[in-house]
Structure 1
Amino acid sequence: MIKIYRKTATIKAEQFDEAKWQSIYNDSHNPEEWDIEARKLGIDHYHGYFIIPTLEGDMRIHDGDWVATGVNGEHWPIADDIFKKTYAELPVIPKAVAGMIENYRRNEPLSNLLFDAGTFHFENRVLDWIRTHDEVVARAWLDGYQVEAQHDTRAD
């Protein structure tokens, strides 16, 4: 009997810009400098095109492909159309909301967090945010999240 599965691992990914990496390769006059930059994206070597060593062997990466980094630091290329069908970026949430999610996650179920956000109408910006973004909070609870960058509001 066929069963239906979904991916559960979270990966990091960067879209490959061949012109950028060609420029890095051409501008690096020191092979060690090239190796340091290339390893950040998992690129092993250049033969007129870029190669990424994977667990299944060396694979060529094309412009617009995505370079995925797995939980053990391994890299592999994914064609852009496949990547867009398979992966979704984790939701971005405020730091205070992330703190509340983690606090509830340790002690209570998601339903309590959503109930409290919908019930308590006193002046609380965090609960207001959760109430108006309940689907984002549910996705963040289940799949993980990114904390939004803090903006410095001080005058320059």
Structure 2
Amino acid sequence: WQRTREPGATGGGQMKFYHKQPIEAEQFDGSQTSLFGYEVMPDSFLVDALTGEPAYYSILIDDVEPEPDDFPDDNEVSFEVGDWIVNEADEIKVLADEEFKQQYAELPVIPKVWGDTIEEFKANRYRLDEMFTEWDWNYDEQELIARAWLDGYQVEGHK
């Protein structure tokens, strides 16, 4: 499962869970001083004309000094406010907000009783359509249950 910190969290934030392969991600909002244990460094060359804040930031993903002939610097990851910094299989990458949302859909949040029902039906080798015919679900509930059945889910109140 995938998880992400809430924007603005610096390590102890609330985690959200995502499907596909495991990742850890944090959306950069300009206030973080570190990401995944790496110090955030403002880029002093370009500043936002309205706020005067740096337009770009970066983290140095290892302490090894780059060789003089290394170009671009493979050890530095650059990003801007609103970008997602993703740690997937110990590889740091940057995704724009829209790209992140397309690639990593957040798992649906459902009541515990629905989760228990899904687990019971799966354990007894029922099909999803059998659960829909046995229980009286409205259309919106069916769509949410189908996503939870296929992709996984979070139980309400459990973070």
Question: Under TM normalisation by the shorter chain, which class is it?
Answer: 0.5 to 0.7
Structure 2 match to 1:76: 93
- Ranges in structure 2 where 5+ consecutive residues have no aligned partner: 1-18, 43-56, 63-73
Structure 2 distance, partners of 1:140, 1:100, is: 11
**Cα RMSD (Å):** 2.8
Structure 2 match to 1:106: 123
- The correspondence of residues 1-156 of structure 1 with structure 2, limited to 5 A, is 8-9=20-21, 11-18=23-30, 20-21=31-32, 25=33, 38=34, 41-48=35-42, 49-51=57-59, 53=61, 57-70=75-88, 72=89, 74-108=91-125, 109-118=127-136, 131-132=137-138, 133-149=141-157
More strand by share: 2
Q: 1:135 aligns to what SS in structure 2?
A: helix
Q: Spell out, residue by residue over 1:29-52, the C-alpha distance to the aligned partner (whole angstroms, 9 max, x if none).
A: xxxxxxxxx3xx425233333316
Any runs of at least 4 consecutive aligned residues in structure 1 with deviations exceeding 6 A, and if so which? Answer: none
In the alignment of these two chains, the number of paired residues is: 112
More helix by share: 1
Matched residue type, 1:86: Q
**TM-score, normalized by length of structure 2?**
0.57
Matched residue type, 2:25: A
Matched residue type, 1:46: V
Structure 2 distance, partners of 1:139, 1:59, is: 34
Q: Is the 8 A contact 1:42 1:52 kept in 2?
A: no
Structure 2 distance, partners of 1:58, 1:82, is: 21
- Ranges in structure 1 where 5+ consecutive residues have no aligned partner: 1-6, 26-37, 119-130, 151-156
Structure 1 distance, partners of 2:40, 2:23, is: 25
Structure 1 distance, partners of 2:142, 2:128, is: 10
**TM-score, normalized by length of structure 1?**
0.58
